[in-house]
Amino acid sequence: MGAYVVRRLLWLPVVLFLVSFGTFALARFGPGDPVSVTAGQVRDPKVLDQIRKDRGLDSNVVVQYVRWLEKAVQGDFGESYLQKGFSVSELIFPRMWISAQLGLIALVIIFAVGIPTGLLAARFAGSWIDPAIIGTLLFLQAIPVLVIIPPLIWLFGVQLDWLPVGGWDGVFDIWWVAGVIAIPIPDPHLYIPLVAFTLPGFVSVARLVRVSALEVNLEDFVRTARAKGLSEAAVQFRHVLPNSLLPLITVVGFALAGVIEGALFVETLLGINGIGRFTFEAVVSRDYDVILATTVIFAAAFVLMNLLAEIAYGFVDPRVRIGSSRG
Amino acid sequence: MTASAAAEGAPRPVVAGTSEWRIVLGRLRRKRLAMISLVIISVIYGAGILAPLLAPYPPTQTNLDRPVEGPSRDHLLGTDRLGRDELSRAMYASRTTLIVTTAVVLSGGLFIGNTLGLLAGYRGGWVDTLIMRVGDVFSSLPSLVMLILINATLGPRVIGWTRWVEGHTPFDGLVASGFPSYMLVFSALSLFFWVGTARVIRAQVLQLRERDYIMAAESLGASPRRVILQHLMPNVSFLIILSLSATLGGIAGSEIVLTWFGVGVQPPAASFGAMLFEGSGTRTFQASPHLLLVPGVIVTLLLFAFALLGDALNDAIRGR
């Protein structure tokens, strides 16, 4: 097991190296080179040369990359080309914290809703309820986030005036009862983004739970549980559910991918100052060092999550480790 | 000579005089949802194919006297900010989706994915390791972020190269036709949409290559190319169809998202992404909801139909 984990972990730096070098080369290759982005309106060749020297952009790509890498491994991702005087890290990390909170809550909701719905569908397999549940979830997945957000803002933010139309104000609000007792409640800014994040995610979780619950339902120990007179609820929750959850570990990666990519649109459309919106703006304004840093961090989070899922799966299901001996 | 001829005609299971394909199609035909989704896909793609014949207006014809109008007799689905007919725009946007999905399925899925999957599974060894590791790298990346980055950085370059080609060859009007942005979107998507297909095919080939008929073909001296094309390909064809149908929605969705970002298909070419972008402001939605709803409903229907069809196909092939 130890060797397996180590082998999987060794893979991480390789991927990160390839990604960062690819991104780096793309960024240096792109239009509106970093020098002119930094210079803004200035077109004096002397100034441009000075910027090029200061930023170390006068050497070749490989040398520049090595220089960047040396600093990046120490957590220094350079200085923003656009917001001068700010280091990329200092711009990125507060925003990442916002996105991470949102994404984590979204993930929890996806699983909290997806698992029971999947069990429900499996319970009613053979009747119209099962395909109706899965069909509805598939439909929710088919609606692009881009399409669903404006009507949500319009309905709840403008027409009904129940929720703020966008922005971010922390996860919790304090609700004072009689001015003495403080009860933390979710901040109203959370609802619309969470709906947008979670709707497309339910179906993959629910389906996986459904399929594996259907298989588990046929096992001998479930029949035994029923035969000894346990209630259906006890059978489902004590015996079927725990044994259906195993494959779910593999979807954590997918669900996270959905949340990370969804952040680009949800945050942009809702004016949430997270990493997704920041990346969007950096791409639009070609702030290359920011793009580089966010891409590498996104990729790192992604690869790491998938690795953790795989390792966790290897722990709980020894059969996977045998399969892994190929690579 | 006769022996090798017999090996070539590797016997396939024949059930009551009908081919496997006919059985699967028969199962599919009995699924109502699958048929409905096929109709939806055909209508949307059909409108795309026939757009030049059916569209009431040219897709780029502006009419600044009548911008942002709701549905009327002249413009069945209203007009956009430049007074262009939404219905005609939507038809040409379907055409864009059709072109991109077809191109990516053919190149990324069928050509790259299938070839590499067959090769990795049959050859094994370092070829297999190399192909699957490269696939691992691609599948462990946040594809959307990478696609946006690739398109944003290479877009202007590709247009520059195309200009150069125009200047040095008899080809003209390539840039004006939007050709470079289509090419870029489709190559970038192909780069990310081959891995799934390759993995599925490889896994199947790993099982198939141990079968007797493959060994028979090999011992008769069939070349690897012949074994792959004549003996393995026909037996993974269902899987190819299945994995391709599973990627359709993702490809269509990615093109729309890239264009929404402004790095996909470039204006004035019509795309659902650009149409959605125009309609996505809250105030815009309040004043003229048709700008969001027209492309939004079509895209949702199309993606839903792809998902349902993929499901039904999966069931039909697995014998349900």
| pLDDT at site B187 | 87
Residues of B in contact with A291 (CB under 8 A): 149
Closest-approach residue (CA) in chain B for A141: B304
Task: Give the C-alpha distances (Å, rounded to integers) separating A180 from A174, A175, A187.
Answer: 11, 10, 19
Give buried/exposed letters for B37-50 (b at 16+ CB in 10 A, else e): bbebbeebbebbee
Q: Are strands A172-177 and A181-186 parallel, antiparallel or unpaired?
A: antiparallel
Q: What is the mean pLDDT of each run of 10 residues along chain B (320 residues)?
A: 43 55 82 89 92 86 80 82 86 91 86 89 86 81 79 80 81 74 86 87 85 86 86 83 84 89 81 88 85 92 91 80
State the smallest CA–CA distance between residue B218 and chain A in angstroms: 24
| pLDDT at site A325 | 41
| pLDDT at site A58 | 66
Residues 6+ apart with CB under 8 A from A83: A91, A287
3-state DSSP assignment of residue B303: helix
Q: Which of B132, B146, B152 comes nearest A327 by C-beta?
A: B132
Residues of A in contact with B156 (CB under 8 A): 30-31
| pLDDT at site A34 | 63
Whether residue B276 contacts residue B299, with contact meaning beta carbons closer than 8 Å, is answered with yes
Q: Is the dihedral of CA A168, A279, B251, B291 positive or negative?
A: positive
| pLDDT at site B10 | 47
Residues of B in contact with A302 (CB under 8 A): 140-142
Asked if the interface predicted TM-score (ipTM) of this complex is over 0.85, the answer is: no
| pLDDT at site A322 | 47
* Contact at CB, B142 and A280, closer than 8 angstroms: no
Task: Give the C-alpha distances (Å, rounded to integers) separating A261 from A101, A264, B5.
Answer: 15, 6, 53
CATH number of B22-52+87-317, picked from 3.40.50.1820, 3.30.70.1230, 3.30.420.40, 1.10.3720.10 = 1.10.3720.10
Considering only residues 6 to 25 of chain A, which have any Cβ-Cβ distance to chain B shorter than 8 Å? 11, 15, 18-19, 23
* Contact at CB, B300 and A144, closer than 8 angstroms: yes
| C-alpha closest to that of B94 among B41, B156, B147, B34 | B41
- Taking the whole predicted model, whether its pTM rises above 0.90 is answered as no
pLDDT tens digits, chain A, 327 residues: what are they? 567 677 777 777 887 888 888 888 877 766 656 666 666 666 677 777 777 777 666 667 788 888 888 888 777 777 777 777 788 888 888 888 888 888 889 989 999 999 889 988 988 888 888 889 988 999 998 898 888 888 888 888 888 888 887 777 777 777 777 777 877 777 778 888 888 888 888 888 898 888 888 888 888 888 898 898 888 888 888 888 887 777 787 777 777 777 878 888 888 888 888 888 888 888 777 777 788 888 888 777 777 777 777 777 777 666 555 444 443
* Contact at CB, B281 and A151, closer than 8 angstroms: no
Phi, psi (deg, nearest 5) at residue A164: -65, 150
DSSP H helical ranges for chain A: 2-29, 34-39, 45-54, 61-72, 88-123, 129-142, 145-152, 191-198, 202-217, 220-227, 232-234, 241-244, 248-270, 275-285, 288-316, 319-324
| pLDDT at site B261 | 83
Distance CA B298, CA A82 (A): 38
Q: Chains A and B: how many Cβ contacts under 8 Å?
A: 131
